[in-house]
Every structure is written in structure tokens, then in C-alpha cells.
Amino acid sequence: MPELPEVQTILIGLRAALEGRRIISTEVRNDLRWPVPDDLSIRADGKKIRSSSRLGKYMMIALVRGPTLLIHLGMSGRIRITPQKRKRASYTPMRHEHVTLTLDNGTSIGLVDPRRFGCFLIIDAGKEREHPLLRALGADPLLPGFDASYLIEKLANKRSPIKTVLLDQRVVAGLGNIYVSEILFRARINPERRAASLDPEEIARIAEVTPGVLEEAIGAGGSTLRDYVDSEGNPGAFQELHQVYGREGQPCPSCPGYPACNGIRRVVQSGRSSFYCPRLQPPLSLEDA
């Protein structure tokens, strides 16, 4: 599933294509995880685009004197941006392109989602945070409100492993399996530690390194492990910079050859792989056992 850096990378390309433009027409070919609203064309066609933004893994396109379009890429979705190359040229949608917006300069914006786990919905302007998909989201780590104090409050009394808690979108919006592994490595926290066992200093380390990991990933265009590409069809490159994720058995980049390390290890938590260095991220204490 595209995580925060991948969604932000796509949004950057999408924002450039949408800026100052007007939606001329919309076409819906199939429903997604939830039905695409029947009145999408009525409410969106002819409207000028005011802004585009992101909250966690959701993208929002706000229309002037109109609603906000809410987009989620699901497990394997992508946004396809196709500039019009010549006047009156016909547009051929991709396979699994379920929704297409056509802009006033001829550019087409398509939501491609083979598994159809994503969404394309409408929210009344000013009521975005009241929508059922958004109102329960925790703080976005790249927006105001995410800091050590916030995390300390959210992790208090949580007995689940810290890895599991950070993946909970009600705690932190936008994090996924790849980046939580990388964050915990840089913060030197074992992924199996109970969240409530972390002291304020350890939690502060998590809060401190999280934005840096995400910004670094955005700068590299996100991580491509299978089929993720940005809005121009380019794969990400952050997978080349992963320090622990997917590197089971390889030397730790911070302590190669150290006797107590013996390479990156993998454990399975709630059906997902977690990667860590046994030396820099010590195993469970008696308190956590």
C-alpha cells in the first residue's frame, strides 16, 4: 500500500497539473471500495480547482464554490496524469482506470486501481474532518500537532507493541510497515517493545526522527517494492536507502561486523514483517515479557 511518502510524491505531481485549472468533465467507469457518488459530474464539472492537500494517506482536491474530492489509492492504486498532446486527440484510459477528470487544458487525471480498494468520494466544503474516513485519524507527522507531547499522550497505557501502535492510523496518520521499521531503527527502539514501556526520552526520539525519515523518502520519490509509480509513471528510489526494511541477514549499516549484531533480523507482527538490529534495538526487557 502506498504510504505517506508515496502519496505525498503523487500529490506533488498532481498539484502541479491541477494548479489554476478547471474541471471540464468527469467519467466514472467502475465503483471502488465504496460507490463513486452519482452526482460527481453535477458537483464537479465546471468548477475551478482551489487547492490540493493531503492528510495521512488521503488526498483532497478542494473546488472553488464546490465540494472537496477525497481520494485514497488503496493497496495498489496510482494517479495517471496525461497532458493533451494535440487538439481533439482522443483519450484512451488505462486498464483499471475507474475515474477520469478532464481539465480545461485537455489534461486527463485518472485514478487507476487494479484491486479497487481505493476511494473517490465527495465531502462538503469545510466538513472534511467530519467525514467518517478522516475524523478518527491521528496527527499527520508532517503537519502541526505531531510532536513528543502528542506521542507521549497517545502511547500512554497502550500494551500493544510499539510497531503495531504506530501503524494504527488513529494514532499517527500515514505511517505504514516500511517507514515504521525505518523510524524505529533510527530511534533505536525494538519493534516488539510494549508502547507503554517506552519512557519519555525514547518516545521523543521517535517523534524527532519520524519527519526526517518521511522527508528523506519524499525526496527520493518514495519506495517502489512492487508496482508503485508516481504520477508520471516513475518508480521511487527510497528502497535503495532502506537501512533495515527488507534487509534480513544483511549487515547492519550502523554496526557492521559487531559480534552482538550478526545482521538485520526479521520478526512477524500481526502478519507483517518487522526488521531491526538486535544490538542497536535491544530485545524485550523483563518488563515487556
By annotation, the residues acting in catalysis are 2-3, 57, 272
Buried b (16+ CB within 10 A) or exposed e, 85-122: eeeeeeeebeebbbbbbbbeebbbbbbbbbebebbbbb
Residue 97: strand pairing partners: 112
Q: Tell me the residue length of the chain.
A: 289
User: With contact defined as beta carbons under 8 Å apart, do 70 and 131 qualify?
Assistant: yes
Residue type, 224: T
**Cα dist from 201 to 111, 167, 188, 191, 195, whole Å:** 42, 20, 11, 16, 13
Residue in this structure with the C-alpha cell 497505557, named with its chain if needed: 157
In the three-class reduction of DSSP (H, G, I as helix; E, B as strand; rest coil), residue 218 is classed as: helix
119-123 and 108-112 strand pairing: unpaired
Closest by Cα among 80, 49, 68 to 121? 68
What stretch of H or E contains 71?
A: strand 68-72
User: How far apart are alpha carbons 262 and 278 in whole angstroms?
Assistant: 8
Backbone angles phi, psi at 97, to 5 degrees: -90, 105
Written as nine digits, the cell of 152 is 507521549
